[in-house]
């Protein structure tokens, strides 16, 4: 049987070391093994032995001020042995600068100022959070879904991406490279099948399933429990999740409908480092997981893999139509469908999508690009985060930028980080002219935007993170939008010339569209900030507008 993952505590003060090991064992000993070390060098020796023994270290809780080897020096050395372990630093008030340095240099996950009493309030919540994050990336010995298919299959990519974005653990078995594939095919009926195949722990096999079929079998979909909701939120990105949290926490019967996966475009971000309250940053998947759990905790209901196709506004009750023909009703609706990345409009792009050309960070492809050459198109924060993420696995990452610099559209901290990463190259004044390949991406044609010169070079994977196209085609006719498709709300409803469609004497509330009781939040809204923090704020603000609307209509 596998041993428990390890929490390593390190402090040169024997009494402090005994106390923190006792507290950690008391709070987490049921699921983790706690090991102590009384110096940095001793801890490094222990870690080296654990590495040889193929043990798993989940967390290192290390004192900063130790003679011979500081906590920061230990964590720097330990990172090469257990790079995926969570790292926390015990500090004094005077050591804050060291903690900030550790965040930047060794990706410190947390720092804790001594003393930590009472541990139930000052220690356990911090450890709970880090260990939950670690467990999300390191599930127990795998007994879940297995996906069998070809790496360069669009259908296989779509299923893997759907599972990854919905945080459903799965194991990928490549028909072309995994030794166990032939035996599994024999046991499931032979190679004459439509791939991908999904094998479930209960013995069920799905052959080339739709995302709806996968969601149903994986118990993701959910269902509408009541015929009339106080609030329906369309879209489960940061804005939609925030609206669900703030609506449900204030007692509104809330349903959130999402066609793909919770987290939206932000959920594909490998690392968000400028979100308030997370000095070490967090991934988009972590943010989505936390927010979804928070919304569920307050009673919000989720309906996944269903798409809203129409909203029909009536006095006091708003109809919401789904693509499967279902009709739902609510007193208020928040539209938070976000944006999609703009498609790459060059020869070969559509044919090779999912076969080497991917939109967004494509979290399911991270392991596939190990040791390969990756190209990435885009110059915004999402592109910078993706480049840094892939650089940890790929041989080389090349960012293709139409402009002359990154600073106009990318945060300063990302520009600096990219410049300091040796296997990332930024190629300015460059655009993709064509992508080529027979069954998968093999090469790309690049154009110098200054002189028009064309060059061709081999490529294993091309990730496209360009532009913002709002998900609003389904709103045709009813809800006012600008000429690019962004939803008008609040003062812009009248200023933009849509006032003729506003039916009431009062002005629209701050986040209200031209249909009373229907609100917009996040990137889908004209004038939004296109940042995670602003999207979350808009989701909360939309619920404030909902309450204004309810008060005004006597709901």
Tokens of 70: 């500081």
Omega within 30 of 0 (cis) for the link into 545? no
Count CB atoms within 10 A of the CB of residue 346: 16
Q: What pLDDT does 441 receive? A: 95
Residue for token digits 């793909």?
260
Q: Kind of pairing, strands 145-149 and 170-174?
A: parallel
For the chain, domain boundaries:
6-137, 145-217, 228-340+471-553, 349-464
Task: For the domain covering 145-217, report its CATH number.
Answer: 3.40.30.10
Tokens of 419: 């410049």
Please report the beta strands in 465-538, taking only residues with DSSP state E, as ranges in sequence order.
469-470, 518-520
SS3 334: strand
Please provide residue 448's backbone torsions phi and psi, each rounded to the nearest 5 degrees.
-75, 115
Rounded distance, CA 423 to CA 421, Å?
Answer: 6
CATH 3.50.50.60 fits 349-464, yes or no: yes
Tell me, rounded to whole angstroms, the distance of Cα 421 from its chain centroid.
22
Buried b (16+ CB within 10 A) or exposed e, 175-188: beeeeebeeebeee
Please report the beta strands in 181-283, taking only residues with DSSP state E, as ranges in sequence order.
197-199, 205-207, 228-234, 254-258
Sheet holding 197-199, edge to edge: 170-174, 145-149, 197-199, 205-207
Q: What pLDDT does 375 receive? A: 96
Which residue, among 141, 157, 285, 261, has the nearest Cα to 201 in the 3D structure?
141
Rounded distance, CA 424 to CA 398, Å?
Answer: 6
The fold of the 228-340+471-553 domain, in CATH, is FAD/NAD(P)-binding domain (3.50.50)
Rounded distance, CA 469 to CA 446, Å?
Answer: 24
pLDDT per residue, tens digit, the chain (555 aa), is 357 899 999 999 999 999 999 999 999 999 999 999 999 999 999 999 898 777 899 999 999 889 999 998 999 999 889 999 999 988 876 667 777 877 877 788 888 888 777 888 888 888 998 998 898 878 766 667 899 999 889 999 999 999 988 888 888 999 888 888 888 887 777 667 788 999 988 888 899 999 889 999 988 888 888 989 999 999 999 999 999 999 999 999 999 999 988 988 888 887 788 888 888 788 888 899 999 999 999 999 999 989 999 999 776 799 999 998 999 999 999 999 999 889 999 999 999 999 999 998 877 787 788 889 999 999 999 899 999 989 988 999 999 999 998 988 899 999 999 999 999 999 999 999 999 999 999 999 999 999 999 999 999 999 999 978 999 989 877 899 998 999 999 989 877 655 457 888 899 999 999 999 999 999 999 989 888 999 999 999 999 999 999 999 888
Q: What pLDDT does 346 receive? A: 95
Q: What pLDDT does 102 receive? A: 77
Which residue, among 263, 528, 533, 271, has the nearest Cα to 384 in the 3D structure?
271
Q: What pLDDT does 142 receive? A: 60
Q: Kind of pairing, strands 454-458 and 339-340?
A: unpaired
**Bridge partner list, 443:** 436, 458
Rounded distance, CA 353 to CA 44, Å?
Answer: 46
Omega within 30 of 0 (cis) for the link into 518? no
The fold of the 6-137 domain, in CATH, is Rossmann fold (3.40.50)
Check residue 114 and report its DSSP letter.
S
Omega within 30 of 0 (cis) for the link into 344? no
What number of helices (H) and strands (E) belong to the chain? Answer: 16, 26
Mention every residue, 6+ apart, whose C-beta is less than 8 A from residue 463.
358, 359, 360, 361, 362, 374, 375, 376, 377, 378, 386, 390
Where do runs of H (alpha helix) occur along 482-531? 492-495
Rounded distance, CA 39 to CA 9, Å?
Answer: 10
Rounded distance, CA 102 to CA 108, Å?
Answer: 5
Rounded distance, CA 483 to CA 471, Å?
Answer: 13
Domains 145-217 and 349-464 belong to one CATH topology: no
Rounded distance, CA 534 to CA 553, Å?
Answer: 28
User: Do you know the residue count of the chain?
Assistant: 555
SS3 431: strand
- Signed CA dihedral, 225, 245, 243, 550: sign only: positive
């Amino acid at each position: 049987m596998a041993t428990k993952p390890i929490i390593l505590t390190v402090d040169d003060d024997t009494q402090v070391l005994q106390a923190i090991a006792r507290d950690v064992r008391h709070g987490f000993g049921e699921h983790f093994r706690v090991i102590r070390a009384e110096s940095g060098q001793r801890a490094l020796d222990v870690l080296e032995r654990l590495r040889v023994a193929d043990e798993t270290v989940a967390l290192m809780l290390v004192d900063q001020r130790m003679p011979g080897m500081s906590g920061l020096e230990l964590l720097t050395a330990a990172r090469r042995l257990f790079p995926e372990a969570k790292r926390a630093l015990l500090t004094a008030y005077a050591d804050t600068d060291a903690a900030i340095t550790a965040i930047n240099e060794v990706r410190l996950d947390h720092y804790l100022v001594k003393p930590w009493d009472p541990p139930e309030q000052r220690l356990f919540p911090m450890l709970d959070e880090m260990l939950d994050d670690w467990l999300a990336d390191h599930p127990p010995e795998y007994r879940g879904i297995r996906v069998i298919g070809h790496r360069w299959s669009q259908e296989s990519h779509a299923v893997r991406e759907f599972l990854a974005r919905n945080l459903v653990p799965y194991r990928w078995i490549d028909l072309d490279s995994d030794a166990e594939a032939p035996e599994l095919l024999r046991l499931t009926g032979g190679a004459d099948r439509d791939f991908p195949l999904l094998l479930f722990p209960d013995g069920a096999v799905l052959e080339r399933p739709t995302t709806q079929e996968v969601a149903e079998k994986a118990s993701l979909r959910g269902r509408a429990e009541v015929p009339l909701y106080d609030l329906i939120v369309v879209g489960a990105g940061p804005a939609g999740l925030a609206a669900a949290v703030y609506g449900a926490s204030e007692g509104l019967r809330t349903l959130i409908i999402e066609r793909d996966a919770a987290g939206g475009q932000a959920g594909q971000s490998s690392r968000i480092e400028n979100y308030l309250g997370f000095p070490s940053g967090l991934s988009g998947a972590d943010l989505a997981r936390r927010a979804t759990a928070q919304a569920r905790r307050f009673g919000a209901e989720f309906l996944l893999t269903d798409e809203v196709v129409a909203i029909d506004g009536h006095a006091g009750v708003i109809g919401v139509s789904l693509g499967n023909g279902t009709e739902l009703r609510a007193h208020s609706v928040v539209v938070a469908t976000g944006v999609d990345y703009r498609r790459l409009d060059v020869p070969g792009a559509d044919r090779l999508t999912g076969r080497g050309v991917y939109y967004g960070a494509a979290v399911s492809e991270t392991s596939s690009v190990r040791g390969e050459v990756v190209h990435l198109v885009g110059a915004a924060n999402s592109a910078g985060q993706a480049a840094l993420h892939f650089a940890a696995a790929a041989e080389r990452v090349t960012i293709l930028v139409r402009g002359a610099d990154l600073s106009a559209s990318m945060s300063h901290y990302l520009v600096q980080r990219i410049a300091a990463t040796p296997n990332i190259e930024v190629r300015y004044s460059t655009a993709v002219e064509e992508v080529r390949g027979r069954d998968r991406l093999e090469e790309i044609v690049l154009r110098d935007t200054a002189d028009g010169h064309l060059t061709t070079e081999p490529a294993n994977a091309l990730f496209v993170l360009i532009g913002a196209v709002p998900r609003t085609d389904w709103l045709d006719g009813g809800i006012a939008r600008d000429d690019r498709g962004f939803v008008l709300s609040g003062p812009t409803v009248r200023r933009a010339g849509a006032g003729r469609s506003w039916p009431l004497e009062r002005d629209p509330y701050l986040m209200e569209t031209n249909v009373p009781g229907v609100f917009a939040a996040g990137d889908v809204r004209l004038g939004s900030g296109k940042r995670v923090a602003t999207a979350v704020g808009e989701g909360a603000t939309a619920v404030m507008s909902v309450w204004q609307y309810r008060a005004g209509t006597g709901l």
